[in-house]
């Protein structure tokens, strides 16, 4: 199915979810996650009007940037090794996976402009997941104020791999509360107004709970 056709269904679902959550669709941005698909398919997404693209590896990012000439916003959504920062950071607009001080320090050293960053939070506490424990997030963000290239625009999480709606909803609610708590502190370097949460399987619940960036791969661009 064409990306354009798939996207109609997704826009519909997003609109309904926004309504249920008492929100408007203008508050929600879709990051088209193109990490599994061909360059051609990624270009199709751009031609269908998607302006936020997500990749999780340097190689995929570079390849897609070579063929996509229109001005899209590039999101890096995977864990980022410090040694790759110098190659990645000036190719992207948003980083969704800031999770340690050593990474922040390296970004600050290599970035030529301000990078909009999400702090990745392991809300569900699963061992295999990247991200900070919720109780460490505030302290972590306070320590980032010395890095002038880093702006904390919000928090990101990956929900557990389950269809249990209660589990998913709780995860998103917890992240949303934490975001509000940090936002209220009024830190200049961390406005923390955004929530990057929701993927192909759970974006509707994420939107009901306040997501402002949903990262959708297979449901949107899957071949």
Ligand X SMILES: *Cc1c(COP(=O)(O)O)cnc(C)c1O
Among the listed ranges 11-19, 37-45, 182-190, 211-219, the one in contact with ligand X (CB under 6 A) is 211-219
Number of residues lying near ligand X (CB under 6 A): 14
Name which of 88, 79, 81, 76 is nearest 33 in CA terms: 76
Q: Which residues contact 150 (CB under 8 A, 6 or more apart)?
A: 98, 104, 107, 108, 111, 114, 115, 117, 144, 189
Name which position in 10, 30, 33, 80 contacts ligand X (CB under 6 A). Answer: 33
Name which position in 45, 80, 158, 159 contacts ligand X (CB under 6 A). Answer: 158
Is 200 a residue that touches ligand X (CB under 6 A)?
Answer: yes
Q: Is the Cβ of residue 120 or residue 176 nearer to ligand X in the bound state? A: 120
Name which position in 45, 46, 77, 152 contacts ligand X (CB under 6 A). Answer: 77
Buried b (16+ CB within 10 A) or exposed e, 45-55: bbebebebbbb
CA distance 66 to 61: 9
Among the listed ranges 44-52, 86-94, 111-119, 197-205, the one in contact with ligand X (CB under 6 A) is 197-205
Q: Is the Cβ of residue 158 or residue 195 nearer to ligand X in the bound state? A: 158
């Amino acid at each position: 199915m064409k990306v354009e056709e798939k996207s109609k269904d997704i826009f519909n679902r997003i609109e309904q979810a926004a309504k249920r959550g008492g929100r408007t669709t203008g508050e929600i941005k879709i990051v088209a996650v193109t990490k599994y698909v061909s360059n051609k398919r990624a270009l199709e997404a751009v031609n269908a009007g998607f302006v936020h693209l997500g990749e999780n590896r340097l190689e995929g990012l570079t390849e897609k940037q070579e063929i996509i000439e229109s001005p899209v916003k590039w999101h890096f959504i995977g864990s980022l090794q410090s040694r790759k920062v110098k190659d990645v950071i000036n190719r992207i607009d948003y980083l969704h996976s800031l999770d340690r001080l050593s990474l922040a320090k390296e970004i600050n050293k290599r970035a030529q402009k301000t990078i909009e960053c999400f702090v990745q939070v392991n809300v569900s506490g699963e061992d295999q997941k990247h991200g900070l424990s919720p109780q460490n997030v505030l302290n972590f963000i306070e320590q980032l104020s010395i890095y002038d290239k880093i702006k904390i625009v919000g928090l990101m999480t990956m929900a557990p791999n389950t269809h249990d709606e209660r589990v998913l909803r709780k995860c998103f609610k917890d992240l949303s509360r934490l975001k509000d708590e940090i936002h209220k502190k009024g830190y200049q370097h961390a406005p923390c107004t955004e929530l990057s949460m929701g993927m192909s399987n759970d974006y509707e619940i994420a939107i009901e709970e306040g997501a402002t960036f949903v990262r959708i791969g297979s449901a949107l661009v899957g071949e």
